[in-house]
Structure 1
Protein backbone atom coordinates (compact mmCIF):
# COMPACT_ATOMS: atom_id res chain seq x y z
CA UNK A 1 0.00 0.00 0.00
CA UNK A 2 1.37 3.39 -1.02
CA UNK A 3 1.16 6.27 1.45
CA UNK A 4 0.41 9.67 -0.01
CA UNK A 5 -0.80 13.14 0.91
CA UNK A 6 -3.52 15.15 -0.75
CA UNK A 7 -3.21 18.92 -1.10
CA UNK A 8 -6.40 20.64 0.15
CA UNK A 9 -8.55 22.13 -2.63
CA UNK A 10 -8.50 25.56 -0.99
CA UNK A 11 -4.75 25.75 -1.61
CA UNK A 12 -5.62 26.38 -5.27
CA UNK A 13 -8.27 29.06 -4.73
CA UNK A 14 -7.74 32.35 -6.52
CA UNK A 15 -4.92 31.35 -8.85
CA UNK A 16 -4.74 33.94 -11.66
CA UNK A 17 -6.00 32.54 -14.96
CA UNK A 18 -6.73 29.10 -13.52
CA UNK A 19 -10.48 28.81 -12.99
CA UNK A 20 -10.77 25.26 -14.35
CA UNK A 21 -12.94 22.73 -12.54
CA UNK A 22 -10.90 19.92 -11.00
CA UNK A 23 -11.33 16.34 -12.23
CA UNK A 24 -9.75 13.24 -10.74
CA UNK A 25 -9.15 9.63 -11.72
CA UNK A 26 -7.77 6.87 -9.48
CA UNK A 27 -4.62 5.49 -11.06
CA UNK A 28 -3.85 2.66 -8.66
CA UNK A 29 -5.82 0.29 -6.40
CA UNK A 30 -4.77 2.20 -3.27
CA UNK A 31 -6.81 5.28 -4.19
CA UNK A 32 -3.98 7.42 -5.59
CA UNK A 33 -5.65 10.22 -7.56
CA UNK A 34 -4.37 12.04 -10.60
CA UNK A 35 -5.86 15.47 -11.24
CA UNK A 36 -6.61 16.67 -14.74
CA UNK A 37 -8.17 19.65 -16.45
CA UNK A 38 -10.76 18.83 -19.10
CA UNK A 39 -12.13 21.61 -21.27
CA UNK A 40 -13.90 21.67 -24.62
CA UNK A 41 -16.55 19.45 -26.19
CA UNK A 42 -16.60 15.80 -25.12
CA UNK A 43 -16.67 14.71 -28.77
CA UNK A 44 -13.85 17.05 -29.85
CA UNK A 45 -10.47 15.85 -31.06
CA UNK A 46 -8.34 15.12 -27.99
CA UNK A 47 -5.31 17.27 -27.17
CA UNK A 48 -3.27 15.82 -24.31
CA UNK A 49 -0.89 18.33 -22.68
CA UNK A 50 1.90 16.81 -20.57
CA UNK A 51 3.93 19.18 -18.42
CA UNK A 52 7.48 18.80 -17.22
CA UNK A 53 9.21 19.15 -13.90
CA UNK A 54 8.71 21.13 -11.68
CA UNK A 55 5.44 22.43 -13.15
CA UNK A 56 1.83 21.24 -13.39
CA UNK A 57 -1.25 21.91 -15.57
CA UNK A 58 -1.07 25.57 -14.55
CA UNK A 59 1.69 25.81 -17.17
CA UNK A 60 -0.95 25.44 -19.90
CA UNK A 61 -3.56 27.83 -18.45
CA UNK A 62 -3.26 30.22 -21.43
CA UNK A 63 -3.27 27.47 -24.07
CA UNK A 64 -6.29 25.52 -22.80
CA UNK A 65 -9.09 28.11 -23.41
CA UNK A 66 -8.29 28.89 -27.08
CA UNK A 67 -7.92 25.20 -27.93
CA UNK A 68 -11.21 24.39 -26.21
CA UNK A 69 -12.90 27.30 -28.01
CA UNK A 70 -11.57 25.91 -31.30
CA UNK A 71 -13.47 22.68 -30.60
CA UNK A 72 -10.73 20.50 -29.10
CA UNK A 73 -11.24 18.33 -26.02
CA UNK A 74 -8.24 19.44 -23.98
CA UNK A 75 -6.88 17.16 -21.25
CA UNK A 76 -4.06 18.51 -19.06
CA UNK A 77 -3.13 16.20 -16.19
CA UNK A 78 -0.95 16.98 -13.22
CA UNK A 79 1.67 14.26 -12.95
CA UNK A 80 1.55 12.42 -9.63
CA UNK A 81 3.43 14.51 -7.08
CA UNK A 82 2.58 17.80 -8.80
CA UNK A 83 -0.24 20.34 -8.65
CA UNK A 84 -3.57 18.92 -7.51
CA UNK A 85 -2.54 15.29 -7.93
CA UNK A 86 -1.75 13.16 -4.89
CA UNK A 87 1.81 13.12 -3.59
CA UNK A 88 3.34 9.80 -2.46
CA UNK A 89 5.35 10.22 0.73
CA UNK A 90 8.13 7.79 -0.22
CA UNK A 91 10.68 8.93 -2.78
CA UNK A 92 10.89 5.30 -3.96
CA UNK A 93 7.35 5.57 -5.37
CA UNK A 94 8.44 8.23 -7.88
CA UNK A 95 9.92 5.80 -10.40
CA UNK A 96 9.85 6.32 -14.13
CA UNK A 97 7.79 3.13 -14.53
CA UNK A 98 5.22 4.29 -11.97
CA UNK A 99 4.79 7.60 -13.80
CA UNK A 100 4.32 5.72 -17.09
CA UNK A 101 1.76 3.39 -15.49
CA UNK A 102 -0.13 6.26 -13.85
CA UNK A 103 -0.42 8.15 -17.14
CA UNK A 104 -1.51 5.00 -18.97
CA UNK A 105 -4.15 4.60 -16.26
CA UNK A 106 -5.46 8.09 -17.00
CA UNK A 107 -5.57 7.44 -20.76
CA UNK A 108 -7.38 4.14 -20.27
CA UNK A 109 -9.80 5.45 -17.62
CA UNK A 110 -10.84 8.36 -19.85
CA UNK A 111 -10.73 6.07 -22.92
CA UNK A 112 -8.75 8.67 -24.84
CA UNK A 113 -8.35 7.91 -28.55
CA UNK A 114 -6.94 9.73 -31.57
CA UNK A 115 -4.79 11.74 -29.18
CA UNK A 116 -2.88 14.80 -30.33
CA UNK A 117 -0.01 14.84 -27.84
CA UNK A 118 1.89 17.94 -26.83
CA UNK A 119 4.65 17.13 -24.38
CA UNK A 120 7.67 18.92 -23.00
CA UNK A 121 10.48 18.21 -20.56
CA UNK A 122 9.69 15.21 -18.29
CA UNK A 123 6.24 15.00 -19.91
CA UNK A 124 8.03 14.21 -23.18
CA UNK A 125 10.09 11.41 -21.69
CA UNK A 126 6.83 9.86 -20.44
CA UNK A 127 4.53 10.79 -23.31
CA UNK A 128 6.80 9.65 -26.13
CA UNK A 129 7.21 6.23 -24.54
CA UNK A 130 3.47 5.89 -23.94
CA UNK A 131 2.72 6.92 -27.53
CA UNK A 132 5.09 4.19 -28.74
CA UNK A 133 3.50 1.59 -26.47
CA UNK A 134 -0.11 2.63 -27.17
CA UNK A 135 0.24 3.60 -30.84
CA UNK A 136 -3.39 2.90 -31.70
CA UNK A 137 -4.52 5.69 -29.35
CA UNK A 138 -2.31 8.46 -30.80
CA UNK A 139 -2.66 10.57 -33.98
CA UNK A 140 -0.02 13.29 -33.74
CA UNK A 141 2.87 14.34 -31.54
CA UNK A 142 4.44 17.73 -30.92
CA UNK A 143 7.36 17.65 -28.51
CA UNK A 144 9.51 20.45 -27.17
CA UNK A 145 12.44 20.69 -24.79
CA UNK A 146 12.56 16.92 -24.26
CA UNK A 147 14.29 13.79 -25.51
CA UNK A 148 13.59 10.20 -26.47
CA UNK A 149 16.22 7.77 -25.22
CA UNK A 150 17.38 5.16 -27.72
CA UNK A 151 18.48 2.64 -25.12
CA UNK A 152 22.04 2.69 -26.45
CA UNK A 153 23.40 4.30 -23.30
CA UNK A 154 22.76 3.52 -19.67
CA UNK A 155 20.99 6.41 -17.88
CA UNK A 156 22.81 8.16 -15.07
CA UNK A 157 22.45 6.84 -11.53
CA UNK A 158 20.01 9.65 -10.61
CA UNK A 159 17.51 8.24 -13.14
CA UNK A 160 17.13 5.10 -11.02
CA UNK A 161 16.74 6.90 -7.70
Structure 2
Protein backbone atom coordinates (compact mmCIF):
# COMPACT_ATOMS: atom_id res chain seq x y z
CA UNK A 1 0.00 0.00 0.00
CA UNK A 2 1.53 3.30 -1.10
CA UNK A 3 1.08 6.16 1.34
CA UNK A 4 2.29 9.67 2.00
CA UNK A 5 3.14 11.32 5.30
CA UNK A 6 2.48 15.03 5.72
CA UNK A 7 5.70 16.88 6.65
CA UNK A 8 5.82 17.92 10.31
CA UNK A 9 6.60 21.48 9.26
CA UNK A 10 3.01 21.82 8.04
CA UNK A 11 1.82 21.51 11.65
CA UNK A 12 4.17 24.00 13.29
CA UNK A 13 2.64 26.82 15.35
CA UNK A 14 -0.98 25.88 14.76
CA UNK A 15 -3.46 28.11 16.57
CA UNK A 16 -4.87 26.58 19.78
CA UNK A 17 -3.28 23.18 19.13
CA UNK A 18 -0.42 22.82 21.65
CA UNK A 19 -0.83 19.08 22.15
CA UNK A 20 2.09 16.68 22.23
CA UNK A 21 1.88 14.20 19.32
CA UNK A 22 1.53 10.48 19.97
CA UNK A 23 1.69 7.69 17.40
CA UNK A 24 0.56 4.07 17.11
CA UNK A 25 1.22 1.58 14.31
CA UNK A 26 -1.81 0.05 12.56
CA UNK A 27 -1.16 -2.19 9.54
CA UNK A 28 2.29 -0.60 9.13
CA UNK A 29 0.70 2.83 8.96
CA UNK A 30 1.34 5.51 11.55
CA UNK A 31 -1.79 6.77 13.31
CA UNK A 32 -1.48 10.01 15.25
CA UNK A 33 -3.48 10.81 18.35
CA UNK A 34 -3.80 13.43 21.06
CA UNK A 35 -3.61 12.06 24.61
CA UNK A 36 -4.35 14.64 27.31
CA UNK A 37 -5.39 14.49 30.97
CA UNK A 38 -4.60 11.95 33.70
CA UNK A 39 -3.16 8.76 32.21
CA UNK A 40 -4.98 6.59 34.73
CA UNK A 41 -8.42 8.16 34.18
CA UNK A 42 -11.19 6.57 32.13
CA UNK A 43 -10.73 7.73 28.54
CA UNK A 44 -12.97 9.87 26.39
CA UNK A 45 -12.46 8.80 22.77
CA UNK A 46 -13.18 11.74 20.45
CA UNK A 47 -13.62 10.71 16.82
CA UNK A 48 -13.64 13.30 14.06
CA UNK A 49 -15.29 12.93 10.68
CA UNK A 50 -15.01 14.21 7.12
CA UNK A 51 -12.86 16.07 6.06
CA UNK A 52 -11.51 17.24 9.43
CA UNK A 53 -8.95 15.90 11.92
CA UNK A 54 -8.33 16.09 15.67
CA UNK A 55 -7.89 19.86 15.34
CA UNK A 56 -11.70 19.93 15.32
CA UNK A 57 -11.71 19.08 19.04
CA UNK A 58 -8.98 21.54 20.08
CA UNK A 59 -11.32 23.67 22.24
CA UNK A 60 -13.04 20.67 23.83
CA UNK A 61 -9.99 18.58 24.77
CA UNK A 62 -8.70 20.94 27.50
CA UNK A 63 -12.17 21.33 29.07
CA UNK A 64 -12.68 17.58 29.38
CA UNK A 65 -9.09 16.98 30.52
CA UNK A 66 -9.44 19.68 33.19
CA UNK A 67 -12.46 17.81 34.55
CA UNK A 68 -10.19 14.85 35.28
CA UNK A 69 -10.75 12.78 32.16
CA UNK A 70 -8.16 11.26 29.87
CA UNK A 71 -8.97 12.54 26.38
CA UNK A 72 -7.81 10.61 23.32
CA UNK A 73 -8.45 12.14 19.90
CA UNK A 74 -6.98 10.15 17.00
CA UNK A 75 -6.57 11.27 13.43
CA UNK A 76 -8.20 8.65 11.23
CA UNK A 77 -5.92 7.09 8.64
CA UNK A 78 -5.90 9.47 5.68
CA UNK A 79 -6.36 12.55 7.88
CA UNK A 80 -4.43 14.91 10.12
CA UNK A 81 -0.96 13.78 11.14
CA UNK A 82 -1.74 10.14 10.35
CA UNK A 83 -0.37 8.39 7.25
CA UNK A 84 -2.42 8.68 4.07
CA UNK A 85 -2.73 5.85 1.53
CA UNK A 86 -2.75 7.44 -1.90
CA UNK A 87 -5.26 5.19 -3.74
CA UNK A 88 -8.99 5.61 -3.16
CA UNK A 89 -9.33 1.82 -3.34
CA UNK A 90 -7.21 1.51 -0.18
CA UNK A 91 -10.11 2.94 1.83
CA UNK A 92 -13.22 1.00 2.77
CA UNK A 93 -15.63 1.15 5.68
CA UNK A 94 -14.37 -2.20 6.93
CA UNK A 95 -10.73 -1.18 6.59
CA UNK A 96 -11.35 1.93 8.70
CA UNK A 97 -13.05 -0.29 11.29
CA UNK A 98 -10.03 -2.60 11.39
CA UNK A 99 -7.66 0.33 11.80
CA UNK A 100 -9.72 1.68 14.71
CA UNK A 101 -10.01 -1.75 16.31
CA UNK A 102 -6.24 -2.14 16.21
CA UNK A 103 -5.89 1.32 17.71
CA UNK A 104 -8.05 0.68 20.79
CA UNK A 105 -6.54 -2.80 21.19
CA UNK A 106 -2.95 -1.56 21.14
CA UNK A 107 -3.69 1.25 23.58
CA UNK A 108 -5.70 -1.21 25.71
CA UNK A 109 -8.54 1.28 26.07
CA UNK A 110 -11.44 0.30 28.34
CA UNK A 111 -14.27 2.02 30.20
CA UNK A 112 -14.39 4.52 27.35
CA UNK A 113 -16.85 7.29 26.64
CA UNK A 114 -17.33 7.65 22.90
CA UNK A 115 -17.74 11.18 21.53
CA UNK A 116 -18.40 11.21 17.81
CA UNK A 117 -19.59 13.30 14.89
CA UNK A 118 -20.04 12.74 11.14
CA UNK A 119 -17.89 9.73 10.06
CA UNK A 120 -16.69 9.51 13.63
CA UNK A 121 -20.20 8.24 14.34
CA UNK A 122 -20.25 5.72 11.51
CA UNK A 123 -17.04 4.27 12.89
CA UNK A 124 -17.54 4.93 16.59
CA UNK A 125 -21.05 3.55 16.93
CA UNK A 126 -19.95 0.37 15.16
CA UNK A 127 -16.89 0.20 17.39
CA UNK A 128 -19.00 0.53 20.54
CA UNK A 129 -21.53 -2.03 19.31
CA UNK A 130 -18.76 -4.51 18.48
CA UNK A 131 -16.96 -3.89 21.80
CA UNK A 132 -19.82 -3.01 24.19
CA UNK A 133 -17.95 -4.18 27.28
CA UNK A 134 -15.26 -1.56 26.64
CA UNK A 135 -17.55 1.50 26.57
CA UNK A 136 -19.30 3.16 29.50
CA UNK A 137 -21.22 5.87 27.61
CA UNK A 138 -21.85 7.35 24.16
CA UNK A 139 -22.26 10.99 23.15
CA UNK A 140 -23.26 11.73 19.55
CA UNK A 141 -23.28 15.15 17.90
CA UNK A 142 -24.46 15.42 14.30
CA UNK A 143 -23.90 11.76 13.49
CA UNK A 144 -25.70 8.58 12.57
CA UNK A 145 -25.19 4.89 11.80
CA UNK A 146 -26.83 4.37 8.38
CA UNK A 147 -27.71 0.95 7.02
CA UNK A 148 -28.84 1.93 3.53
CA UNK A 149 -32.44 1.12 4.41
CA UNK A 150 -33.42 4.78 4.76
CA UNK A 151 -33.60 7.52 2.17
CA UNK A 152 -30.49 9.71 2.17
CA UNK A 153 -30.93 13.49 2.58
CA UNK A 154 -30.59 15.55 -0.62
CA UNK A 155 -27.80 17.55 1.03
CA UNK A 156 -25.72 14.39 1.38
CA UNK A 157 -26.20 13.43 -2.28
CA UNK A 158 -24.99 16.87 -3.33
CA UNK A 159 -21.97 16.55 -1.05
CA UNK A 160 -21.16 13.05 -2.32
CA UNK A 161 -21.20 14.13 -5.96
CA UNK A 162 -18.99 17.11 -5.15
CA UNK A 163 -16.44 14.97 -3.29
CA UNK A 164 -16.29 12.39 -6.05
CA UNK A 165 -16.29 14.58 -9.12
CA UNK A 166 -15.19 18.12 -8.34
CA UNK A 167 -11.65 18.88 -9.55
CA UNK A 168 -11.45 21.32 -6.62
CA UNK A 169 -11.60 19.97 -3.05
CA UNK A 170 -10.77 22.83 -0.64
CA UNK A 171 -10.71 21.19 2.78
CA UNK A 172 -10.68 24.31 4.95
CA UNK A 173 -13.36 26.06 2.93
CA UNK A 174 -15.58 22.99 3.22
CA UNK A 175 -15.31 23.09 7.02
CA UNK A 176 -15.84 26.84 7.01
CA UNK A 177 -19.00 26.40 4.94
CA UNK A 178 -20.28 23.79 7.41
CA UNK A 179 -19.87 26.08 10.42
CA UNK A 180 -22.01 29.01 11.53
CA UNK A 181 -19.05 31.15 12.49
CA UNK A 182 -16.40 32.33 10.05
CA UNK A 183 -13.07 30.62 10.64
CA UNK A 184 -10.00 32.84 10.84
CA UNK A 185 -6.99 32.55 8.50
CA UNK A 186 -4.93 30.61 11.07
CA UNK A 187 -7.76 28.12 11.56
CA UNK A 188 -8.17 27.69 7.82
CA UNK A 189 -4.44 27.06 7.53
CA UNK A 190 -4.68 24.40 10.23
CA UNK A 191 -7.45 22.51 8.46
CA UNK A 192 -5.53 22.61 5.19
CA UNK A 193 -2.24 21.63 6.85
CA UNK A 194 -2.60 17.82 6.50
CA UNK A 195 -3.35 18.01 2.77
CA UNK A 196 -0.55 19.67 0.78
CA UNK A 197 -1.34 17.77 -2.44
CA UNK A 198 -4.03 15.77 -4.23
CA UNK A 199 -2.32 12.55 -3.12
CA UNK A 200 -2.90 13.51 0.50
CA UNK A 201 -6.66 13.93 -0.09
CA UNK A 202 -7.50 10.40 -1.27
CA UNK A 203 -8.97 9.42 2.10
CA UNK A 204 -11.06 12.56 2.36
CA UNK A 205 -12.34 12.08 -1.17
CA UNK A 206 -13.21 8.44 -0.48
CA UNK A 207 -15.38 8.82 2.62
CA UNK A 208 -18.67 9.99 1.02
CA UNK A 209 -18.83 7.01 -1.35
CA UNK A 210 -18.36 4.61 1.60
CA UNK A 211 -21.58 5.68 3.36
CA UNK A 212 -24.19 2.88 2.99
CA UNK A 213 -26.96 4.26 0.78
CA UNK A 214 -28.48 0.95 -0.41
CA UNK A 215 -29.77 -2.03 1.56
CA UNK A 216 -27.22 -4.27 -0.16
CA UNK A 217 -24.23 -2.03 0.52
CA UNK A 218 -21.13 -3.97 1.70
CA UNK A 219 -21.42 -2.36 5.16
CA UNK A 220 -25.19 -2.59 5.54
CA UNK A 221 -25.43 -5.95 7.29
CA UNK A 222 -22.67 -5.14 9.79
CA UNK A 223 -24.41 -1.86 10.58
CA UNK A 224 -27.74 -3.65 11.09
CA UNK A 225 -26.01 -5.98 13.51
CA UNK A 226 -24.60 -2.96 15.31
CA UNK A 227 -28.09 -1.48 15.57
CA UNK A 228 -29.30 -4.72 17.14
CA UNK A 229 -26.75 -4.14 19.90
CA UNK A 230 -27.60 -0.44 20.24
CA UNK A 231 -31.30 -1.29 20.59
CA UNK A 232 -30.30 -3.12 23.79
CA UNK A 233 -27.87 -0.41 24.94
CA UNK A 234 -28.83 0.57 28.51
CA UNK A 235 -25.71 2.57 29.35
CA UNK A 236 -25.86 6.39 29.02
CA UNK A 237 -26.49 7.55 25.45
CA UNK A 238 -26.59 11.33 24.95
CA UNK A 239 -27.38 13.34 21.82
CA UNK A 240 -25.96 16.86 21.45
CA UNK A 241 -26.90 17.79 17.90
CA UNK A 242 -26.83 21.28 16.44
CA UNK A 243 -29.76 23.29 15.13
CA UNK A 244 -28.28 23.94 11.69
CA UNK A 245 -27.11 20.70 10.07
CA UNK A 246 -29.11 19.68 6.98
CA UNK A 247 -27.37 16.30 6.72
CA UNK A 248 -28.14 14.85 10.16
CA UNK A 249 -31.34 16.74 10.95
CA UNK A 250 -33.78 14.44 12.76
CA UNK A 251 -31.09 12.00 13.79
CA UNK A 252 -31.20 12.90 17.47
CA UNK A 253 -34.90 12.08 17.85
CA UNK A 254 -34.45 8.89 15.83
CA UNK A 255 -31.69 7.59 18.11
CA UNK A 256 -33.45 8.70 21.28
CA UNK A 257 -36.43 6.59 20.24
CA UNK A 258 -34.44 3.46 19.32
CA UNK A 259 -31.74 3.35 22.01
CA UNK A 260 -32.85 2.56 25.60
CA UNK A 261 -29.88 4.28 27.19
CA UNK A 262 -31.07 7.60 25.76
CA UNK A 263 -34.12 7.64 28.03
CA UNK A 264 -33.97 10.34 30.68
CA UNK A 265 -30.67 11.80 29.48
CA UNK A 266 -30.17 15.60 29.27
CA UNK A 267 -30.27 15.77 25.48
CA UNK A 268 -29.73 19.24 24.10
CA UNK A 269 -29.75 21.11 20.82
CA UNK A 270 -26.67 23.27 20.44
CA UNK A 271 -26.16 26.27 18.21
CA UNK A 272 -24.19 25.49 15.10
CA UNK A 273 -23.83 23.99 11.67
CA UNK A 274 -22.52 20.56 10.76
CA UNK A 275 -19.24 21.18 12.60
CA UNK A 276 -20.74 22.01 15.98
CA UNK A 277 -17.30 21.62 17.59
CA UNK A 278 -16.45 24.93 15.92
CA UNK A 279 -19.69 26.68 16.85
CA UNK A 280 -20.47 25.37 20.37
CA UNK A 281 -17.32 23.67 21.71
CA UNK A 282 -17.78 24.77 25.32
CA UNK A 283 -21.42 23.62 25.50
CA UNK A 284 -20.49 20.35 23.79
CA UNK A 285 -17.63 19.67 26.21
CA UNK A 286 -19.65 20.64 29.28
CA UNK A 287 -22.43 18.32 28.16
CA UNK A 288 -19.95 15.44 28.14
CA UNK A 289 -18.53 16.40 31.54
CA UNK A 290 -21.99 16.79 33.08
CA UNK A 291 -23.07 13.37 31.81
CA UNK A 292 -20.01 11.66 33.27
CA UNK A 293 -20.30 13.54 36.57
CA UNK A 294 -23.93 12.49 36.85
CA UNK A 295 -23.04 8.89 36.02
CA UNK A 296 -20.33 8.88 38.72
CA UNK A 297 -22.86 10.05 41.31
CA UNK A 298 -25.29 7.25 40.49
The normalised TM-score by structure 1 is 0.92
**1 CA distance for matches of 2:21 and 2:95?**
22
Cα gap change, 1:151 to 1:134, in 2 (>3 Å): farther
Backbone CA RMSD of aligned residues: 2.0
Aligned mates of 2:24, 2:151 — CA distance in 1: 33
Per the alignment, residue 133 of structure 2 pairs with 136
The structure that is helix-richer by fraction is: 2
2:15 and 2:151 mapped to 1: Cα distance?
42
Give the structure, 1 or 2, with the largest relative contact order (CA under 8 Å, sep 6 or more): 1
Q: Alpha-carbon deviation of 1:158?
A: 2.9
Give the match's secondary structure for 1:117. Answer: strand
Cα distance in 2 for partners of 1:78, 1:86 equals 9
TM superposition shift of 1:152: 3.8
Structure-1 separation of matches of 2:126 and 2:77:
17
Q: Any unmatched runs of 5+ in structure 2?
A: 158-207, 211-216, 218-298
Aligned residues: 158
1:100 aligns with 2:97: yes
Aligned-partner Cα distance in 2 for 1:77–1:21: 12
Q: Secondary structure of the equivalent of 1:142? A: strand
Q: Whose Rg is larger?
A: 2
Question: What's 2:19 paired with?
Answer: 20
CA distance, structure 2, for counterparts of residue 149 and residue 93 of structure 1: 22
Give the superposition deviation at 1:151.
5.9
Report whether the alignment pairs 1:158 with 2:209: yes
TM-score, structure 2 as length reference: 0.50
Question: Structure 1 segments of 4 or more deviating over 2 A?
Answer: 149-160
